[in-house]
Amino acid sequence: MKKSTSPLLNTLFLLLASLATACSQTTNPDQTAATKPATAALNKKPGWWKETTVYQLYPRSFQDSNGDGVGDLKGIISRLDYLKSIGVGTVWLNPIYGSPNDDNGYDISDYRAIMKDFGTMADFDALLKGMHTRGIKLVMDLVVNHSSDEHAWFKSARASRTSPYRDYYYWWPAEKGTPPARYSIFDVKHDAWQYDAPTKSYYLHYFSRKQPDLNWNNPKLRQEVQNIMKFWLDKGIDGFRMDAFQFVAKDPSFPPMPGLTAQNFANAYNHGPHLHDYLQEINREVLSKYNVMTVAEGAGRNPTEAHLFVDPARKELDMTYHFEGVDVGSNSETYRLTDLKRVFTKWDSSFARQGWQAIDLGNHDQPRMVSKFGDDRPAFRAPSAKLLNTFILSMRGTPYCYSGDELGMTNIKFEKIDDYRDLAALNGYALVKSQGGNLPAYLKNLKRFSRDNSRTPFQWDATANAGFTTGTPWLKVNPNYLTVNEAAEEKDSASVLNHFRRAIALRKQHPVLTYGQYHLLDAANPHIYAYTRTQGNDKALVVLNFSAEQRAWALPAGLTLGGTPWLNNYPNFTAGPTLALLPWQAVVLPLR
């Protein structure tokens, strides 16, 4: 139902939807009159996920309500009015399921429970209701490439070779010798096979030793995953972000894959046998029965492969986000704007006619976007953060804002390994140390690229611990919270936060910013990223000065400005045949 493309089916769908809404309105006494219209309109429109802005919320770091130093669901509930106030339509919540937290919830020991640190199922139900009452959708992380080694399935599977759960995982019996080499991203030795003494076998783990890979060749496992999905969808959630799904399909005979390294393993694991059969099965059995959205992490090594996930005719997922954008400039001191333009333009043109993609510059696996793509020095932090938010909110696709980026939060840049909490950083450090490698160089790289940079607690105000907790935060608060915080930005109409609000409102007001054709201008310019967006007679020009210097940019022939800027991150704008742009100035202009 949700993916119907025929106008007739759409009309039928809308009719049924409005009937369903009418029924739910008479049977749900908790809804206030004021909230009904927003909720109903948002819930029922097919393809609603194209017009929403997604806010990625890292629950561990958002708001602690009980003083244990860890963010929790009650904390999020207390901030729902804030989320409503910034204008986001959907929240993607990082994993909140039962987990021993080896990888901050990406190691799940109970798919139908709430992590103790985060609260209870009653808290979850209240959170979902609170979001829906405010017209905000909730999308959950679905982490099913692997479970935790503390999941009941794995505990049983590792106890005996005849366990009914044995085939939920991948095993290599020791009598067959050493298993064919596989690379693990988080393992302290980068070895994806872990020997397990009770059954004299190795098990496979692409991520950490506490994240054994699930065997998707087993139909029983696939049925379990479908039931888990239904459990949450029946509670009323609005979709899933599919974690590491591109890795789930594996050839169980484990043919040799020589020469796997940090650089090539992801490509090698991508798109194993039957991957799309699995997705089509999920769509048929589960997704097609709900009006929800799905987004695949890092789907496909290139746009052609990405389309296989999201081509509507194939009935798999709704949208994908690629890694190529956030990867520009990774592991180097700087990046070239021309590379960023090339990558985003390539992906846009490949989705120009069909399919849909997410637009993002940061997430919980990446450094802070303003530290990486902007300029986090005090003089340029605010304008460059505003510029990056302007970019995300003026591209075609669904914008994803990572929590804190709406304030312009920056990398914390820890000096000592003891400050880090991420297993990727800690295990990487242990490996370099065991090899007698260059630890100062490793620490320097972490300072710029560690995932903990984007996981520091949300900066609410200038009180102790930025108002995040009354206890000791699980990860240090960025000391710049005294000036960079929500309360201060709330009061300042020129803040990054209020600019973000204006940018979202603009996107809602002008559909050309969501759907309009994208056309890159001046591709070779190393400092200016400029493009037009066109939909029928509506036309907008976006000009972004990606530099800390003033720049002049000549308006290309054939473009005529149609008035004052729709959005500007400075109070002034000098129009004319040549635009005079201030450092990190970002303008969205109507065109005639």
Minimum gap (Å) between residue 141 Cβ and ligand GLC: 8
Measured distance CA(515)–CA(20) in Å, rounded:
29
Residues 348-367 that bind ligand GLC (CB under 6 A): 364-365
Quick count: other Cβ atoms within 10 Å of Cβ 562?
14
Residue of 243, 324, 360, 406 marked catalytic: 243
**String marking each residue 322-351 x if it binds ligand GLC according to CB under 6 A:** ------------------------------
What do you get for the CA distance between the two ends of the chain, in Å? 39
Cα–Cα distances (Å) from 531 to 142, 192, 547, in that order, read 35, 44, 17
Indicate whether 460 belongs to the interface with ligand GLC (CB under 6 A).
Answer: no
Cβ distance to ligand GLC smaller for residue 3 or 301: 301
Q: Are 409 and 370 in contact (CB under 8 A)?
A: yes
- The count of chain residues that interact with ligand GLC, using the rule CB under 6 A, is 9
User: What DSSP state is assigned to residue 180?
Assistant: P
Cβ distance to ligand GLC smaller for residue 103 or 360: 103
Q: Are 320 and 296 in contact (CB under 8 A)?
A: yes
Task: With residue 195 as reference, give the H or E element that holds it.
Answer: strand 193-196
Quick count: other Cβ atoms within 10 Å of Cβ 457?
28
Helix (H, G, I), strand (E, B), or coil: what is residue 543?
A: strand
Task: With residue 321 as reference, give the H or E element that holds it.
Answer: strand 319-321
**String marking each residue 142-181 x if it binds ligand GLC according to CB under 6 A:** -x--------------------------------------
Minimum gap (Å) between residue 509 Cβ and ligand GLC: 33
Minimum gap (Å) between residue 58 Cβ and ligand GLC: 10
Name the residue with the smallest CB distance to ligand GLC: 106
Residues 279-318 that bind ligand GLC (CB under 6 A): 297
Helix (H, G, I), strand (E, B), or coil: what is residue 120?
A: coil
Interface residue with ligand GLC, options 233, 244, 308, 328 (CB under 6 A): 244
**Which 3-state string (H, E, C) describes 397-460?**
CEEEEECCCCCCCCCCCCCCHHHCCCHHHHHHHHHHHHCCCCHHHHHHHHHHHCHHHHCCCCCC
Cβ distance to ligand GLC smaller for residue 364 or 510: 364
Quick count: other Cβ atoms within 10 Å of Cβ 461?
16
Cβ distance to ligand GLC smaller for residue 105 or 374: 105
Cβ distance to ligand GLC smaller for residue 65 or 145: 145
Indicate whether 490 belongs to the interface with ligand GLC (CB under 6 A).
Answer: no
Q: Are 527 and 345 in contact (CB under 8 A)?
A: no
Minimum gap (Å) between residue 402 Cβ and ligand GLC: 12
Cβ distance to ligand GLC smaller for residue 90 or 495: 90
Indicate whether 269 belongs to the interface with ligand GLC (CB under 6 A).
Answer: no
At CA 262, angle to CA 267 and CA 418, rounded to 5? 135
Backbone angles phi, psi at 386, to 5 degrees: -65, -40
Quick count: other Cβ atoms within 10 Å of Cβ 393?
26
Residue of 141, 196, 297, 376 marked catalytic: 297
Q: Which amino acid makes up residue 115? A: M
Task: With residue 590 as reference, give the H or E element that holds it.
Answer: strand 586-590
Indicate whether 243 belongs to the interface with ligand GLC (CB under 6 A).
Answer: yes
Minimum gap (Å) between residue 365 Cβ and ligand GLC: 5
Minimum gap (Å) between residue 297 Cβ and ligand GLC: 6
Cβ distance to ligand GLC smaller for residue 142 or 337: 142
Cβ distance to ligand GLC smaller for residue 77 or 115: 115
Minimum gap (Å) between residue 476 Cβ and ligand GLC: 20
Q: Is 297 a catalytic residue?
A: yes
Residues 105-134 that bind ligand GLC (CB under 6 A): 106
Which structure tokens are listed for 471?
């206890």
Indicate whether 207 belongs to the interface with ligand GLC (CB under 6 A).
Answer: yes
Indicate whether 248 belongs to the interface with ligand GLC (CB under 6 A).
Answer: no
Q: Which positions ≥6 away from 516 have C-beta within 8 Å?
A: 396, 533, 534, 535, 538, 539, 540
Indicate whether 103 belongs to the interface with ligand GLC (CB under 6 A).
Answer: yes
Cβ distance to ligand GLC smaller for residue 207 or 309: 207
Residues annotated catalytic, as ranges: 243, 297
Residues at the interface with ligand GLC (CB under 6 A):
103, 106, 143, 207, 243-244, 297, 364-365
